[in-house]
Amino acid sequence: MNDWKERGIDPADFTQLDPVSAEGIERAVAIMRTGRLFRYSDGQPEDSEVALLERDFAEYLGVRHALAVNSCTTAIELALIACGVEPGSKVLVPGFTFTAVPSAIVVLHAIPVLVECNEDYRLDIDDLRRKITPETKVLLLSHMRGHISEMDAIAQLCAVHGITLIEDAAHALGARWRGKQIGSFGKASCFSFQSNKVINAGEGGILTTDDDKIIVKATYLSGAYEMNYKKHFTRSPLFEEFAGRLPARNARMTNLTAAVARPQIGLLEEKGRRYRQMYAYLKRELTATNRIEFPQEYPHETRIPDSIQFKVPGYDAAQMQTFIAQVRKSGLPLAGFAERDNARAFYNWRYLGEDMPDLPRTKKAIENTCDMRLPSRLQEAHLAYIVAAVRSALHHVDAMQRMAVA
């Protein structure tokens, strides 16, 4: 480790988060000085940092409307309700996603129907086809860890069966399929600004759509009571039509969160380029060990890979545990999807009760898979350190194996 220290490596670098930019800090402080933290404090959308964030985000994504809320989970709930999901509705959802996603379905008393994922963490299209029934109204598709599923096949199946697609793009902001922004395929799409995501605002989420009815319903549901919809940039005669017809919960974002998030939109493309370089280096060097397998990349996807996932084939559960523990000793926050209580392993979503299916393919896909977030400011030496730490952990497990055999 001393060598690495000399090369400027501090293990704390691997858990760094993106700092708030000077512009974000200035805007947040200016807002605090006025006390106008509430998005509806002022009469005009131009005066609300939240409305400006919505305008800029929609423009970045190339969609007509955006609604900023307090989390991606909330955005998903509002999208589901706005798309007509009711108690008892069946909603297709990947079996490999974060627990918040099926939870958003369950809290609406709807029924999640889990679809298998394949060895590359994408939706298993054959299983999707099998699980579509005449009752299926909605597919809530997570682009888990930014790996993009076969969007052509999914769009076609949704069109043929009259299924509404909602994208959970919490991990896929800035990603593209055939050059088209992820989050512009669904009837509605949802993004997260929680600290571990490519836009870090602590917490926060945003719902996007091209559909007037969806944005009007979601805006009312988010808590745009009385005539506050006029303080959004979205204009639609449907606001009059739906006035008073939807329950108004409070899912609103504050101006402070928006001030922190908004300047980060302009950094996304550069961040994407840097992440793609880091990912290519790590994939090349770790694959060269002949012990590590990265998921296949799909030809039409462009990702912002702010994390890595890889398998160590051939290790049993105990060896995986030792391997992960050994890497962690180097200060790297490596996790295993199959670790106890991991919130991305479907068999830990015990609240599903009798709706918990058996998903052998998904289980196998996540079984030997490691997962690690990459801070955006890692340098070449940090990447070399990751490779060295993984190689050293492989040697450690192999040495233990040899000792056990001898």
Ligand X SMILES: Cc1ncc(COP(=O)(O)O)c(C=O)c1O
Q: What does the binding site for ligand X look like in residue numbers (CB under 6 A)?
A: 71-73, 97-98, 100-101, 142, 144, 168, 170-171, 192, 194, 205
Residue 42 CB, nearest approach to ligand X (Å):
26
Would you say 41 or 342 has its CB closer to ligand X? 342
**Beta strands across the sheet bearing 301-302:** 180-181, 176-177, 301-302
- Residue 28 CA to residue 39 CA, distance in Å, equals 13
**Length of the chain counted residue by residue:** 406
Of 259 and 390, nearer to ligand X (C-beta) is 259
SS3 content of the chain, % helix, strand, coil (to 5): 45, 15, 40
**C-alpha pair distances (Å), 48 with each of 131, 154, 216:** 44, 37, 18
CA 376/CA 270 separation, integer angstroms: 10
Name which of 72 and 397 has its Cβ closer to ligand X: 72
Closer residue to ligand X, CB minimum distance, 72 or 92:
72
Q: Which helix (H) or strand (E) holds 68?
A: strand 65-69
Using the minimum distance from each CB to ligand X, give the nearer residue, 190 or 397. Answer: 190
Strands 138-142 and 90-94: parallel
Strand order in the sheet with 164-168: 65-69, 205-209, 188-192, 164-168, 138-142, 90-94, 111-115
Nearest distance from C-beta of residue 249 to ligand X, angstroms: 15
Instruction: Name which of 3 and 341 has its Cβ closer to ligand X.
Output: 341
Shortest spacing between CB 13 and ligand X, in angstroms: 22
**Smallest distance from ligand X to CB 343, Å:** 8
Q: How far is the CB of 198 from ligand X (least distance, A)?
A: 12
- Strand pairing report for 65-69 and 205-209: antiparallel
- Give every CB contact of residue 282 below 8 A, 6+ residues apart in sequence: 308, 374, 383, 386, 387
Question: Shortest Cβ distance from residue 73 to ligand X (Å)?
Answer: 3
Cβ(135)–Cβ(90) below 8 Å:
yes
Q: What is the closest distance, in whole angstroms, from the C-beta atom of residue 123 to ligand X in the complex?
A: 13
Nearer to ligand X, 196 or 322 (CB): 196
- Least distance from ligand X to the Cβ atom of residue 242, Å: 25
Q: Which is nearer to ligand X, 27 or 197 (CB)?
A: 197
SS (H, E, C) 330-360: CCCCCEECCCCCCCCEHHHCHHHHHHCCCCH
Cβ at position 191, least distance to ligand X in Å: 8
292 contacts 286 by C-beta, under 8 angstroms? yes
Nearer Cβ to ligand X (72/365):
72
Bridge partners of 142, per DSSP, are 168
Phi-psi domain of 282 (left: phi exceeds 0; alpha: psi -120 through 50; beta: other):
alpha
